[in-house]
A and B are shown apart, each in its own frame.
Chain A
Amino acid sequence: MISYIIRRLLYAVLIVILVSVTVFTLIRLLPGDPIEILVSQDIMQDAARDPEYYARLRSEYGLDKPIPIQFINWFFKMLRGDFGKSIIRKFDILGEMKSRIVVTLSLGIVSFIISNVVGILLGILSAIRRGKIVDTVVTVIANIGVTAPTFWIAILLIYFIGFKLKLLPLYGYTLPWKDFGTSVRQSIMPVFVMALGPISMTCRQARSSILEVLNQDHVRTAWSKGLTERKVIFRHVLKNGLMPVVTLQGTMIAMIFGGSAIVETIFVIPGMGKMMVDGMLSQDYPVVQVVTLMLTFVVVLANLLVDLMYGWIDPRIQYE
C-alpha cells in the first residue's frame, strides 16, 4: 500500500514534469514572443524600433539562451520557490496566483461536488425508474449536456438569464466569505456551465452501471433473501454500481479545471484559468508556465485521491 502510494506519487511527478516541458517548449515555438509585445507597447516608439534594445531585453529575460538551458534555469528557480514575474505586466506570479487559485478552487470544488451529487442522484433515479418518463427526460437532458459546447451554453445563459431577464449578474466573482449572497448569485451560471458536462457524464455512467448491476446474479440473490427494495438498492446495488462512477471522477476533475479557462474568460472571473488565457494572449511565458503547472498539479493530485478511494471501496483491488 505504502509502496503503491510512493509509486503513484513518482508517476505524478513525472506527469507534472512532462507537462511542464511540453508547455515550456511549445509556447516558445509559437511565432512571436513576449518581448515583441512588450516593445510594441513601449511609448518610446523610437527605442522600440531599435533592434539592439530588443536584443538587450531578450537577454535580460534569458530568452536568448537555448530552450533546454532556459528550462533548467526555470526549473531550479521553481525548486527554490522563485516563481518569477510577469514579463508584460510585471506582477509577482506567486502573489498573484495565491489570490486566484482560491477562486478557481472554490468554483471547481463546488462544481465537482454538485456534479457528483446531482449526477449520481439523477443516474440512480433514471436507472430504477427505467423506461418511465423521468428516465426519458433525464436521458435526453444528459445527452444534450454531454454534447453541448461549454461556451455556447455560457453565452445562452448570459444572454437570456443575465441580460434579458436580469436574474443574475452577467460577470464577475466574489469569494463566499467576503459576501455570500453576491458570491452565490455570481456563481450560479459559471458553476452550472462547468458542472453540466460532468453532471451529464456522471449521470449516464451511474445509470448504465446501476442498470448492469441490477441485472447481476448477486442482486437476484439479495431479492431472494427477502430484503426490502430499499435494502437491495442501497446495500447491494449502489456500492457496486457506483464504482465505475468513482473511476470516472478523475476525468471529471480534469474536465472541470481544464474548462475553467473558458468559463473564467467568458464570465470574467479572476481565477487561474483567466490568468492562463491572459498569459497566453500576451505570450507571457513565465505566467503560462506556472499556471499550467499548478493546474496540472491539482488534476494529478485529485486523480491520485480518486484511485486511492477506489481501492478503499472495492476490496478486490490490491495495491501492488
Chain B
Amino acid sequence: MGRLLTVTGLTTEFRTERGIVSAVKNVSYHLDEGEILGLVGESGCGKSVSQLSLMQLIPTPPGKIVAGEAVFMGADLLKYEKNSKEMSQIRGKNISMIFQEPMTSLNPSMTIAKQMSEMVLMHEKVTKKEAIERSADMLSQVGIPDAAKRLEDYPYQLSGGMRQRVMVGIAMICNPKMIIADEATTALDATIQAQLLELLYEIVGRYHTALVMVTHNLGIVARYANRINVMYAGHIVETGTVKEIWANPLHPYTEGLIHCVPKLGERLLPIKGMPPSLIGRPPTCPFLSRCQYRQKSCFEENVADLTYVDGGTHATACNVRLKEAGQ
C-alpha cells in the first residue's frame, strides 16, 4: 500500500472576539491508499476543522491555517491558494467529503441530477448526457431504487437516509483517491445508520478508496477502521491500529472513551468534567483537568508530542505513559 497523505504539524486557529481559538494544534498523521482511518473525539475537539483545513474549506476569516503541511500524492495542499485551480482539482476529484447534515448539505433548489452531474462535468471531459448517465449509474450503486426517476427529484423529496446516499454517490462519482466522511451517519437513526455504514464500507472497498471516518463513536470506528486517531482539544493524543487501541489504550482519554462504548449489561462510565477552553490554553497536557492518573509532574511539563512506542504503529501523547514505556 502506497502512502497517500502525510499531514505534519497542522495548526488551525480562529480569531474571535474572545481571543484566538486553537482548534487544531500540531496535528500529524498519515493515510495509505485504500486504508480506513477513524478519527474520534468529543464534540468540539477539532475533528471537522482538521479535515476542512486539509481541503482549505475553513471559513476565512475568522479561521486561518497557521502552520503545517499536508502532502497528498507528492504535493503540499496547504501551499495552494484557497480557491486556486490546483485546489479545485483536488476537491471532489481526488478528495471528496461527506458531511453530517443530510437535511442541509444538498442544494434545496437544484435537482439531484444537476448536483451529481455538475461534479463530473467539472472534473472530466464528458458531455452532459454522459454525466447524467454516470449519475444514474452511481445512484443505483448507492442503493437508490428507480435511479433514473430519482435524478429528477429535489432534495426535499428524499428522506434523510436517501440524501446521505446521494451524498455518498456525489463523493464517489469521480472515483477519488480518498473520502472524508465527517460524521456522515450521526444524524440518522440506528438502522439507517448501519445500512449507510455498510454501504460506505462496501463501496470504498470496491474502488480501493481511502476513507477517513470522523465520528465520536468509538464503537463504529472499531468495526470498520484499520487504524484510529484519537483527538482531544485540538491534539491527536493517541494513534494505533484498532486492536492496539482497543486492547491496550495508551492514553487516559482513550481509556475513558472505551468505557463510554455501550456494552450489553454493563454500566457506562462517562468521563467526568468538561473539555478545556481552546483559548489561551497553557502548554501542559490538555486532558490534565480530567485525568485520573495525573501526577505532579504533569502540571509542570509541556504536553509530549505524539510519540511512537517501541518504534511500532502505536503512539501516545501522554507524558506518564511515555515515561512508563521508557521513551
A interface with B by C-beta (< 8 Å): 131, 215-218, 220-229, 231, 235-236, 239-240, 243, 313-316
Contact = CB atoms under 8 A, between A and B. Distances in A.
B107 A222 contact: yes
Nearest to A237: B107
Given A216-B104, A221-B106, A222-B107, 17 more contacts: A218-B104, A221-B105, A223-B91, A224-B55, A224-B92, A224-B96, A225-B119, A225-B122, A226-B90, A226-B122, A229-B83, A231-B118, A235-B110, A236-B107, A236-B110, A239-B110, A315-B156
Contacts of A226: 87-93, 119, 122-123
B96 A225 contact: yes
Contact of B109 (A223, A225, A229, A239): A239
Secondary structure dominating the interface of A: helix
A220 B107 CA distance: 10
Contacts of B61: 131
Interface in B46-95: 55, 57, 59, 61, 83, 87-93
Contacts of B96: 224-225
B57 A225 contact: no
A181 B185 CA distance: 65
B154 interface: yes
Q: Majority SS of interface residues in chain B?
A: loop
A190 to B, nearest CB: 37
B75 to A, nearest CB: 15
A315 B119 CA distance: 22
B97 interface: yes
Q: In the complex, which range does the number of interface residues on chain B fall in? A: 20 to 34
A233 to B, nearest CB: 11
Contacts of B104: 216-218
CB-CB nearest 10 A-B residue pairs: A226-B92, A226-B91, A217-B104, A225-B92, A226-B88, A224-B97, A218-B107, A225-B119, A217-B105, A221-B105
A231 B106 contact: no
17 contacts: A217-B105, A218-B104, A221-B97, A223-B91, A224-B92, A224-B96, A225-B122, A226-B90, A226-B92, A226-B122, A226-B123, A227-B88, A231-B118, A240-B108, A240-B109, A314-B109, A316-B108
A227 B106 contact: no
Contact of A235 (B99, B118, B170): B118
Contacts of A314: 109
A157 B170 CA distance: 56
Nearest to A218: B107
A236 B118 CA distance: 11
Given A225-B92, A225-B96, A220 B109 contact: no
User: Residue among B59, B87, B88 with the most chain A CB within 10 A?
Assistant: B88
B101 interface: yes
B170 A220 contact: no
A229 to B, nearest CB: 5
Interface string B111-135: 0000000110011000000000000
A313 B109 contact: yes
B268 to A, nearest CB: 31
Contacts of B119: 225-226
A215 B60 CA distance: 11
Contacts of A131: 61
A221 B99 contact: yes
Nearest to B94: A226
A220 B59 CA distance: 9
Contact of A223 (B57, B93, B123, B167): B57
A50 B96 CA distance: 92
A224 B57 contact: yes
Contact of A225 (B110, B118, B154): B118
A223 to B, nearest CB: 6
A23 B178 CA distance: 69
A225 B105 contact: no
Contacts of A217: 99, 101, 104-105
A221 B107 contact: yes
A228 B105 CA distance: 18
A51 to B, nearest CB: 69
Contacts of B90: 226
A215 B59 contact: yes
A240 B55 CA distance: 24
A218 B107 CA distance: 5
